[in-house]
Amino acid sequence: MLRFSLSQYLRAPVVTGQLALITAVAAVGLPTGIRWAISSLVSGCEFTPYLPFVLLSAFLLRPWQAMAVALASAGIMGGLLGPPSQIFVSECFLSSAGLFLASAAAMIGVVVLIRRVFAALQNRGVDEALGGIVFSLEQGEVWASWYGQGPPVLLGTQRKVATMMADFLRQEELGRRLNGEPETRQ
């Protein structure tokens, strides 16, 4: 379900642990390779190849890890790709790095804001006392969700769930009769 997949990415960082380190290294290494490959064609301090990778890092990693990717990118750009005599001090580097880091901070901030808004929308459900479970049908699949309890859960196809639900209701009715309770039809 597209809604569940999207909510998974918006709810929290997807990559954690050792894989987060590998992702961060790749998010710095790939654009560095691209920038190095085109360095003969580009003059000046171009951070453009790094921007999409910082945005991707903002979605995949924790905010501090994404900012570390941005800082490492700026450091590598100034240290490896700059002229050896003017590492980190050229006017080009200082202004470009400042704009790059401001852009990176804005992108990461927007992702954090989107996550918080999304979490607030997910948690603002109706009071659970009014009804605990909601069933929904999308493209022949039945989903169940609980107010304020996270993403919906796939129960199965409509035909399969209808059969299971009918069986459940028959078992419940049989249990009531065996216990001598009156029948309740709603």
Nearest one of 113, 116, 125 to 150, comparing CA atoms: 125
Task: Give the chain's radius of gyration (CA, Å).
Answer: 26
pLDDT tier at 108 (50, 70, 90 boundaries)?
very high
The dihedrals phi and psi of 43, each to the nearest 5 degrees, come to -110, 140
Q: Which of 75-89, 96-110, 168-182 has the highest mean pLDDT?
A: 96-110
pTM of the model: 0.59
The gap from C-alpha 64 to its chain's centroid, in whole angstroms, comes to: 15
SS3 assignment, position 65 = helix
Nearest one of 60, 64, 53 to 8, comparing CA atoms: 60
* DSSP 8-class letter at 109: H
In order, the DSSP letters of 81-98 are SS-GGGTTTSHHHHHHHH
Domain ranges of the chain: 2-123, 129-178
For the chain, what's the residue count?
A: 186
- Read off the pLDDT of each residue in 170-181 and give the average, rounded to a whole number: 86
Q: Read off the tokens for 113.
A: 């804001």
Nearest one of 67, 66, 62, 50 to 14, comparing CA atoms: 62
In whole angstroms, give the CA distance from residue 98 to residue 95: 5
Question: Does the pLDDT of residue 16 top 90, yes or no?
Answer: no
